[in-house]
Amino acid sequence: MSIFDFLMGEFIDVIHWTDDTRDTMVWRFEREGHAIKYGAKLTVREGQAAVFVHEGQLADVFGPGLYQLETNNMPVMTTLQHWDHAFQSPFKSEIYFVSTVRFNGLKWGTKNPVMARDPEFGPLRLRAFGSYSMRVTDPGLFLKEIVGTDGEFTADEVSEHIRNVIVQEFSRVVTTSGIPVLDMAGNTADFSRIVTAAISPTIAGYGLSIPELYVENISLPEAVEQALDKRTSMGIVGDLSRYAQFSAAEAMGAAATTENSGMGAGIGAGLGMAMGSQMAAAGPWGAAPQGAGAQAAQGAVPPPVPGGAQFHVVEDGASKGPFGMDALRGMAASGALTRATLVWSSGMAGWEPAGEVAALAPVFAEVPPPLPGA
């Protein structure tokens, strides 16, 4: 530095800071030998604070406004310097400008999965990520606890540590909440509020605050997500047997329509044979039986025509019939069938006299009983 530059620096009495980087939190005002002229003008803009450090000690902190650096507005510095009213010489101090605006869009996330016990699925590994914003609320404390003597301190230098604090508290909250993993998406706002309140005392010890914190996503391992997708698909499909048949038919149909495909021709022939067998089993009207009961009905003997039970009759030592109820009434009226005639019908254990069969009682209702002593 030339002597001219040095002398010009001695006459500069306006101290201010403008920043357009959007990530600088602290910037140190540089002067030759840290000499600040007594009576200099200090400009602190909105969203800023100016911190004076004199001989390693934190002195005065100025909020937004225009100041003339004199004894009347620098009480701490006056005590450290032992100024009197006639003392006008420059003093050597470091001035740090601290940005007090919100730093938005900062990211946090779990580097490793968080082990949790779900009431429905058991032990699970969860991952989560989100965003947050931070702000300097106590410039002096922030300078002492975090910045130190760094001449240009950015948000990236502290965001990693804040991320660790957030992840640690989030892990504790999510594992002790008892909320099922399928319901966590609907409770991210509650998680955000609880985590913010829990970490506030720790963050305040750094001179910072967390105005906003968002849990944007809570995810499961890829294999577990695939299993859940299959489970959801099963619930949507409903009848798995029909779905399997439909899927197989769709796949074979697609293969059959593929040009120059021998496999397609074979599948098409197989489909034709399968359809033919189904039509044959369906009967002349093409209506295939439905259900297990219908399949059993295909091999059963058709029931008798309505009109009453059928009975076999013993006549001259031989079995004749079967006869319906109308025929039996005629035989009883003509005397060919008597109460002593042996009869048999499906469901009876053996041949029995007709008069002892309850089902034939209507047949003999109009026939007089045998004469006494006959």
DSSP characters for 60-83? EEE-SEEEE-SGGG-HHHHHHHT-
In residues, how long is the chain? 374
Distances 314 to 197, 342, 364, 368 between C-alpha atoms, Å: 100, 6, 17, 21
| Predicted local confidence at residue 206, as pLDDT | 96
- Quick one: 44 exposed, middle or buried, by C-beta within 10 A (0-12, 13-18, 19+)? buried
| Predicted local confidence at residue 122, as pLDDT | 86
Provide mean pLDDT across the span 6-26.
76
Q: How confident is the model at residue 70 (pLDDT cuts 50, 70, 90)?
A: confident
Dist CA 243 CA 234 (whole Å): 10
Residue 62 has pLDDT above 50, yes or no: yes
In DSSP notation, 166-205 reads: HHHHHHHHHHHS---GGGGGGGHHHHHHHHHHHHHHHHHT
Dist CA 199 CA 189 (whole Å): 16
Q: How confident is the model at residue 4 (pLDDT cuts 50, 70, 90)?
A: very low
Residue 215 has pLDDT above 80, yes or no: yes
Residue 57 has pLDDT above 50, yes or no: yes
Residue 374 has pLDDT above 90, yes or no: no
Pairing mode, if any, of strands 342-344 and 318-323?
unpaired
| Predicted local confidence at residue 182, as pLDDT | 84
Peptide bond into 322 cis (omega under 30): yes
| Predicted local confidence at residue 276, as pLDDT | 54
**Average of per-residue pLDDT values in the chain:** 80
Query: Rounded to the nearest 5°, which phi and psi values hold at 324?
Result: -80, 175
Query: Rounded to the nearest 5°, which phi and psi values hold at 178?
Result: 75, 5
Dist CA 106 CA 159 (whole Å): 7
Distant-in-sequence, close-in-space partners of 14: CB < 8 Å, separation ≥ 6? 40, 41, 43
- Quick one: 186 exposed, middle or buried, by C-beta within 10 A (0-12, 13-18, 19+)? exposed
| Predicted local confidence at residue 207, as pLDDT | 96
Q: What is the pLDDT of residues 265-320, one digit of tens each?
A: 555 555 555 555 555 555 554 444 454 444 444 545 555 445 567 888 888 888 88
Dist CA 57 CA 63 (whole Å): 19
Q: 151: how many CB neighbours lie within 10 A of its CB?
A: 12
Q: Looking at 61-75, 251-265, 307-321, which range is the least confident one?
A: 251-265
Report the candidate in 345, 344, 340, 330 with the shortest Cα–Cα distance to residue 370.
340
pLDDT higher at 322 or 230: 322
| Predicted local confidence at residue 91, as pLDDT | 74
Dist CA 134 CA 155 (whole Å): 9
Q: Is the dihedral of CA 358, 362, 363, 366 positive or negative?
A: positive
Q: What is the pLDDT of residues 141-192, one digit of tens each?
A: 999 999 998 999 999 999 999 999 999 999 999 999 888 888 888 899 999 9
pLDDT higher at 251 or 350: 350
| CA contacts within 13 A on the Cβ side of 339 | 13
Residue 77 has pLDDT above 80, yes or no: no
